[in-house]
């Protein structure tokens, strides 16, 4: 069932296509690439597990495991039962299941996977692309459609309600990207035209903060100071935005060979140490920023790994995905990085979250799978 702002749905005549990017998104060898001058000192450990590429249609594939700080770990992969999805963002729902955005340019799809691996797909049957997803205060999961400028919610039974994002900039579409539950009980949405929108659980857009920056806003999180912290999608900065709309930008220190996106912060999350942690997709680093704005960077051992999403783990560390390297990685609050090869090669791990079962759950964008890493 699909409701569109309470009205019967009708297809739009034209659709504009923006650049599609991931939202938005983890004994053998010690060491890795040399750290750049000025990078924080860190210990890097790479764990290369044997990869196993399962046959098409495999619903439950167990991959190579190993030892994680003396304790065993095991990968399990679950194939998504549709060829029209490229799973991206992932979150834990109020029902205790994992929910993920379907990605790609197709019917707007959101999926649910139980902790035992049963996958159910729900679609609004509206042409669109879901990438970021978050748990709402109303027991539903909420998502952004950056293809067609909608924010939507899905009930635990799979009913969709979608809300077109109001045009606040004069452009044809807003391209909403990040979404997070704010400290005021509303959902906050960032978009590529530098606007933060507040939407109530009933679907009313009731506030706009126009960020005075030249870079599009994307990944968003609530900081320990109750401010909104946002990555600047096409820039090299992290922005802090107060509830009243005051924006402060903090420049990421390291330049790269990329003259347009530069380090390109990809995702941002609140760490167990009270700091904000973010991935640098082009810079191939993990960044840490204090609430006062001090940034420290840690080099990733695998070159050109393309770190994407990052989340706080159940073990007091942070975990992130490496798309190009097809790896998960763990970074301690002190900066020690350990990498783990995902069983399916070239799978492009994307979104990541700590599951209710104490495991790390992640999406595999290119392999069309959901992965689980038991710690």
- Distance (Å, whole) CA 120 – CA 114: 9
pLDDT, tens digit only, all 375 positions of the chain: 333 333 322 222 222 222 233 444 422 222 222 233 334 543 444 444 433 333 333 334 455 566 565 456 899 999 999 888 999 999 999 999 999 999 876 678 999 999 999 999 999 877 778 889 999 999 999 999 877 788 999 999 999 999 988 865 555 567 788 999 998 899 999 877 767 788 999 999 876 665 555 556 778 999 999 999 998 766 678 989 887 778 888 988 865 544 444 445 689 999 999 999 999 988 899 999 999 999 999 999 999 999 999 999 999 999 999 999 999 999 999 999 999 999 999 999 999 999 999 999 999 999 999 999 999
- Percent of the chain, pLDDT > 90? 52
Q: Two tokens at 23? A: 């939202």
Complete DSSP assignment for 173-190: ---EEEEEE-TTSSEEEE
Q: Are 186 and 198 in contact (CB under 8 A)?
A: yes
Q: Give Cβ neighbours of residue 42 (< 8 Å, ≥ 6 apart).
A: 35, 298, 299, 334, 335, 336, 337
Beta bridge partners of residue 99, listed in sequence order: 91, 112
The 10s digit of each residue's pLDDT in 27-57 is: 222 222 223 333 454 344 444 443 333 333 3
Cα–Cα separations (whole angstroms), residue 236 to 23, 133, 265, 275: 17, 24, 7, 19
């Amino acid at each position: 069932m699909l409701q569109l702002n309470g009205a019967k749905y009708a297809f739009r005549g034209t659709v504009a296509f923006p650049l599609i990017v991931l939202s938005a998104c983890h004994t053998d060898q010690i060491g890795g690439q040399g750290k750049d001058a000025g990078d924080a000192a860190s210990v890097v450990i790479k764990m290369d597990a044997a990869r196993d590429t399962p046959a098409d249609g495999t619903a439950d594939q167990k991959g190579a495991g190993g030892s994680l700080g003396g304790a065993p770990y095991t990968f399990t992969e679950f194939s998504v039962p549709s060829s029209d999805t490229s799973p991206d963002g992932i979150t834990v729902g109020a029902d205790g299941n994992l929910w993920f955005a379907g990605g790609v340019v197709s019917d707007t799809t959101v999926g649910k996977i139980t902790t035992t691996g049963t996958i159910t797909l729900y679609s609004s049957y509206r042409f669109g692309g879901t990438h970021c997803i978050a748990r709402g205060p109303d027991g539903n999961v909420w998502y952004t459609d950056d293809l067609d400028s909608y924010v939507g919610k899905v009930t635990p039974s799979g009913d969709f309600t979608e809300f077109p994002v109001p045009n606040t900039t004069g452009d044809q579409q807003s391209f909403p990207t990040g979404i997070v539950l704010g400290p005021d009980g509303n959902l906050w949405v960032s978009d590529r035209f530098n606007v933060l929108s507040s939407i109530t659980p009933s679907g009313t857009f009731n506030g706009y903060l126009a960020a005075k920056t030249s870079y599009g806003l994307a990944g968003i999180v609530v900081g320990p100071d109750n401010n909104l912290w946002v990555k600047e999608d096409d820039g090299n900065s992290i922005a802090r935005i107060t509830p009243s709309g005051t924006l402060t930008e903090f420049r990421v220190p390291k330049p790269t060979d990329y003259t347009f996106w530069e380090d390109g912060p990809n995702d941002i999350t609140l760490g167990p140490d009270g700091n904000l942690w973010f991935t640098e997709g082009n810079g191939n680093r993990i960044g840490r920023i204090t609430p006062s704005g001090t940034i420290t960077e840690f080099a990733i051992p695998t070159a050109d790994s393309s770190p994407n999403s990052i989340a706080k783990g159940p073990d007091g560390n942070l975990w992130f995905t490496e798309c190009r390297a097809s790896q998960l990685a763990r970074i301690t609050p002190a900066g020690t990085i350990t990498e783990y090869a995902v069983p399916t090669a070239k799978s492009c791990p994307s979104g990541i979250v700590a599951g209710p079962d104490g495991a790390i759950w992640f999406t595999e964008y290119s392999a069309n799978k959901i992965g689980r890493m038991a710690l």
